[in-house]
Chains A and B, each alone.
Chain A
Amino acid sequence: MNCRGVSRRLSAFIDDVLSPGIKESLEDHLKGCLKCQRKLAEIKAIIEAAHNLPSLKVSEEFTERVLAVASKQNNPEVVSLNRYRVSFAGLAFVATAVAVFFIMGPIGQERSDTRSQNTVTAQFESAGQPELTDYSEDPSVIVYSVPVPEEVRIRDMMFDDSLQLADSSLKLDQFILPEVEQARENVNIKF
């Protein structure tokens, strides 16, 4: 065995976990190698120093503190409170979900006030073809749900008077696009 082999096995040799054959070979090498003897002595000294490092001690009330916390955690009342805590969290989650459902509406439902400019235009490009949702077959029926162009709706929202505007036919006339005019003639809607 050479010095490198000895160096790899020094710890196992010190801890006496080498097989008898390898141990014997290592001992033979050590007899004639002062360098490895010195290394062995240094490692042994480090181990001895580590063994003798001053021992740490827990603080005085440590045991009592651990037992008190363990006992508290083992207390059924505390456990049941913890369970309630989980239940409260679940309840809060459900309540939030219900609130979001009522405010936002069911997922996937298209909101009536989110029509884009394109939607409005498309409805009136096919003037003469009755729109099922916006007017009645009876020409005498007044249809109140006249689609308002997007830019008008946005401006109305800005001035916060859209309801008044919708109720006033005089004011509404100012904002009706030519397509709307044409559609009105075709279906003979009276405002």
Chain B
Amino acid sequence: MNTNRGRSTDKELMELIQGGDDKAFAELVSRFQDRLLNFVGRIVVDRETAEELVQEAFLRIFNQKHSYTPTFAVSTWVYTIALNLARSELRKRKLRKYLSLDFLKEEADVELPEKSNSDYESLIPILRKAIDKLPEDYKTAFILCDIQRLPYQQIAEVMGVPVGTVKSRINRARMMLRDKLKPYKEIHHELSRGIPQTISLY
């Protein structure tokens, strides 16, 4: 069994961890660390904080290993823990922002690089910033669906909302992103490449 940790399913790994197998925990960390960083990192944006939160998430997983029940997928449990930590961080930031009166400052909207070229590379920072500007619940649903590629049912379990709400949030998030990218015709041209231009929206 020990030699097959790499091939074990997530649930089998959790069983081993619950039995006190530290190497199984190491395997779980290596299996989820980048996925969680990509998830938490897109929510809190600051990479350093994201890594600290992911570390904290793994410590919680380790310390609360016996609270996991196989009713849910391990990934659902892991993502839920990480999401709770990310939300807590955002709440702290919001509080700090209000206490420091920074909320009085106007936030700059999505910025287009000065010299925009229509190739795909120019889209990345703008899309990233546009995702960051989404309301928290829409952003979380979008990241889980379109970056983490989780199914709707699992997203609903992680976020603790019905599947219908998830569908609606994902659709709304995508539409909001489309609207946010509207001012950038060059990028939009790139986005809508290959589509007949007989009807112009802009």
Contacts and interface: CB of A to CB of B under 8 A. Distances in A.
A70 B194 CA distance: 52
Interface string B103-137: 00000000000000000100110011001000000
Given A11-B170, A41-B195, 20 more contacts: A8-B171, A10-B171, A11-B171, A34-B196, A38-B201, A42-B195, A43-B178, A45-B190, A46-B127, A49-B191, A53-B128, A56-B41, A57-B37, A58-B37, A59-B51, A63-B29, A66-B33, A67-B26, A73-B62, A73-B63
Interface stretch (B4-12, B53-61, B67-75, B90-98): B53-61
B123 A49 contact: yes
Nearest to A33: B199
Interface residues of A, number: 39
A42 B188 contact: yes
Interface of B: 22, 25-26, 29-30, 33-34, 37-38, 41, 47, 50-51, 54-55, 58-59, 62-63, 120, 123-124, 127-128, 131, 142, 145-147, 149, 152, 167, 170-171, 174-175, 177-178, 181, 188, 190-196, 198-199, 201
Contact of A46 (B149, B181, B196): B181
A58 B26 contact: no
A35 B201 contact: yes
Most chain B CB inside 10 Å of its own CB: which residue of A10, A39, A43, A70: A70
B147 A50 contact: yes
B191 A46 contact: yes
Interface string A62-75: 11011101110110
CB-based closest 10 A-B pairs:
A11-B171, A45-B191, A50-B146, A41-B195, A70-B62, A34-B199, A66-B58, A56-B41, A58-B33, A56-B37
A15 to B, nearest CB: 7
B138 to A, nearest CB: 12
Secondary structure call for the B interface: helix
Contacts of B152: 15, 17
Contacts of B192: 38, 41-42, 45
A36 to B, nearest CB: 10
A62 to B, nearest CB: 6
Contact of B175 (A7, A17, A47): A7
B38 to A, nearest CB: 5
B127 A50 contact: yes
Given A41-B195, A46-B177, A47-B174, A70 B58 contact: yes
B174 A11 contact: yes
Most chain B CB inside 10 Å of its own CB: which residue of A41, A46, A69: A46
6 contacts: A10-B175, A41-B195, A50-B127, A50-B131, A53-B127, A56-B38
A69 B167 contact: no
Nearest to B153: A17
A37 B34 contact: no
Given A57-B34, A62-B55, A74 B171 contact: no
B34 A51 contact: no
A140 B37 CA distance: 92
A186 B131 CA distance: 94
Contacts of A49: 120, 123-124, 127, 191
